[in-house]
Structure 1
Amino acid sequence: MAERRVNVGWAEGLHARPASIFVRAATAAGVPVTIAKADGSPVNAASMLAVLSLGATGGEEIVLATDSGAPEAEVALDRLAKLVAEGLEELPETV
């Protein structure tokens, strides 16, 4: 299992628009990804309702993970971690 621990870079946390940006990126990742609060249970990162249910706030640590052994899994996690940590408006083309 590969994982990345990052702090949420969006001041408003993973709510509404930032969650939508993140979910679109997670869906496009091509590998199954989960997201969880540091001490919480993981949820499907490609599910808007699941991501919103986390209630992750700005600056809070989250864990992105995948069980995929595919070579692109590490790259996908790096890209998603950068998106979340920097509070970007869209998924970066490169890490």
Structure 2
Amino acid sequence: MGTYPLSASPLCGTFLSGQGIGSRLLASLRAWLPLPYTLKCWTRNTRALAFYAKHGWRELGSGGQGEETYQLLQFEAASNQPPPAEHTT
């Protein structure tokens, strides 16, 4: 199993929010990235943490110090289905 670094700018969440882009990106992972998926999300990024929880990610742990704390999250499909994709207009 390899590590595939991905990064999203915090600015993406401000003007692209609610368009289904993040949901479609998560759904597309199955085509090129083996399960399970693991990522770090800043603890202060409550919108992102809620987004990942809504899509079935669970917390494995946490780390960091002060304002640099993060939650370690993992997605492991219960079946052969990809994370849910949503599109809102």
The two structures have a TM-score, normalised by structure 1, of 0.32
Which is higher, the Rg of structure 1 or of structure 2?
2
